[in-house]
A and B are shown apart, each in its own frame.
Chain A
Amino acid sequence: MTDVTIVGMLMGNLPSIIGIIIGGLCIAVGVHFVPVGGAPAAMAQATGIGTGTVQLAAGSGLTGLLAAGYMYMTLSAAGTPGITEIVLICATGAVGAMIMISVTMLVGNWVYIYGVGVPPASAKKDYDPITGDSQAPYVAAGTVGQGLPTVCFVCGTIGGFLGGLGGSLIYCMLMWVNGDPAISSIFAIGVFLVNAVLPSYNIQGTIEGFHDPKFKRVPKAILACFIASLLYGIIAVTIPGIAMLTGGS
């Protein structure tokens, strides 16, 4: 009897599970856009932001989640948000994440330029795909670039957009399931981290954006994150549901 009810619960919440999967895939693709250089970038030996993939993606995406959570509360005053409201909430989260990552990249470039005295450049391409500026003459000897040239900056904003969008969408879907901001926010953080960690195996420490050869590995991350998000979606739907089945509130 209980099994049937769980299956029914999963079928009833199918749109939420699909939403969680879409959100997870957005995060997975977004992480590949974030230009991170890891430890070498912190020593100006690699192009990108001098921190870890997951940490920056999570930092920006979850900042967007805060904005999205507040917007959800404001809009839900007039009833459960529908698709139109969800689009606005996701846009708010995406823009919040974009602001965080853009400010971080800009100030990071200040430090590279004024504090370390090196111009932003990448050794992955001879010319910046967006501005057409030559890169190789500006790469310090014995390094693979430093700082954030325009192409990396733009990729970073796209990564922030996708990360914030995915995180907000997952939060909205979880709110549809259980209606509790506390449970939904903690679950959303969990889904976010899972989908940010899995693609980092593709990235292996450094990636610069869509022009990086590692970007071609995106399909593998999409498959892995699809499976992980599906599993997570099922768990996220059943955990609050089981409490209701067993008599809890």
Chain B
Amino acid sequence: MDPAMGMGLVALMGAAATVAGCSEDLESDIGSQSNPNSQVQLAAQVGYPHRIFNKAISGEPPSNAMYCAVGAGVAMVLMSESVMSASPLIAIAIGAFVAALLNGVFSTTSYLGRNASQTRFNQYVYLDVLRNQILSLMGHAYITTFCIVLISYVMWNQNLIGHPFPFPVIALIWGLCVGAIGSSTGDVHYGAEREFQDFKFGSGLNAADSGNITRFAEAGVRSSMDNAWFCSKFGGPATGIAFGMVVFLDNWRSTAFSGWTAVVVGVVIVLVLVIYNRKVETYARKKYGPFPEYAGDIEA
């Protein structure tokens, strides 16, 4: 392949990955999926009923892997000459739509099931919460799936990169990857900061305060849309940058270099990241200093 074309494709994939990462994180923030869900689930049980959407379908990586594999599978069937030879863009759009419908089914059953089982804690099923937020969940899931299936198509197409893995398997792996990244990065902003905004910034969250989530917003009762608004300022874009960096750096080193040079370049990238992380850590320790409550060693 022409090197300029290769780099263009890598840039396109990096851009699509950035959008996918951001929307994936916001989707999980709206639905309270993954680890922060433990607090949403716990809140009612410790006496704090709320109007936050609650859908722990599964961990983010398996659920996103499923949406992306379904999206790619549908797109592949539609593109096949024996079915309708659809244009790739339309096929990917329809595939992502089917995946979004799947997301809607899982989100609805999850919300209804979870909240119905918590009636004894005064946690009710709010149909307006379901109505208002289900479409935004599906919309974000659509964007994520569309971008990831697009990346997978670029990798799989024999005239472009020509990866040997089947189209849905590539989408499954990238879906797993974006879920793992979203769960590791952006969700912390939701789980550790937005869910506990009543506590002083930087004070840490004492395990004894688990479940005491912030239930009132800047105006009125807090909803999951408010959470998405807040997390879209930092957690979502950070996730997008992370996933974009993974897709871009990994593909860039194998496109621009080959053989052992690509391996060495990869090792250099990792070393730079380790050193940069150390710089950030030192900055934080100097900037914030020790916790004032510190009074001797804490037993692990």
Contacts and interface: CB of A to CB of B under 8 A. Distances in A.
A22 interface: no
Contacts of A118: 202, 204, 284, 288
A24 interface: no
A99 interface: yes
B147 to A, nearest CB: 16
A172 interface: no
B270 A44 contact: no
Given A107-B185, A108-B184, A62 B59 contact: no
Given A98-B270, A103-B246, A107-B242, A150 B169 contact: no
Interface in A18-72: 38-45, 49-52, 55-56, 58-60, 62-63, 65-67, 69-72
A202 B261 CA distance: 37
A139 B196 CA distance: 18
A136 interface: yes
Nearest to A115: B189
A45 B266 CA distance: 32
Contacts of A67: 250, 254
B207 A40 contact: yes
A141 interface: yes
Interface residues of B, number: 90
Contact of A70 (B163, B180, B186, B278): B163
A93 to B, nearest CB: 10
A51 B204 contact: no
A69 B246 contact: no
B73 interface: no
B184 A104 contact: yes
Nearest to A114: B234
B254 A70 contact: yes
A interface, size bucket: 35 or more
B280 interface: yes
A51 B285 contact: no
B165 A66 contact: yes
B263 A88 contact: yes
Contacts of A107: 181, 184-185, 238-239, 241-242, 245
A55 B257 CA distance: 30
Interface of A: 38-45, 49-52, 55-56, 58-60, 62-63, 65-67, 69-74, 88, 91-92, 95-96, 98-100, 102-120, 123-126, 131, 133, 136-144, 146-150, 153-154, 157, 181-182, 185-186, 189
Interface of B: 34-36, 38-39, 59-62, 155, 161-166, 169-170, 172-174, 176-177, 179-181, 183-189, 191-193, 195-196, 201-210, 234-235, 238-239, 241-242, 245-246, 249-250, 253-254, 258-260, 262-263, 266-267, 269-270, 273-274, 276-278, 280-281, 283-285, 287-288, 290-291, 293-294, 296-300
Given A66-B155, A95-B263, A98-B267, 4 more contacts: A45-B207, A107-B241, A109-B277, A149-B281
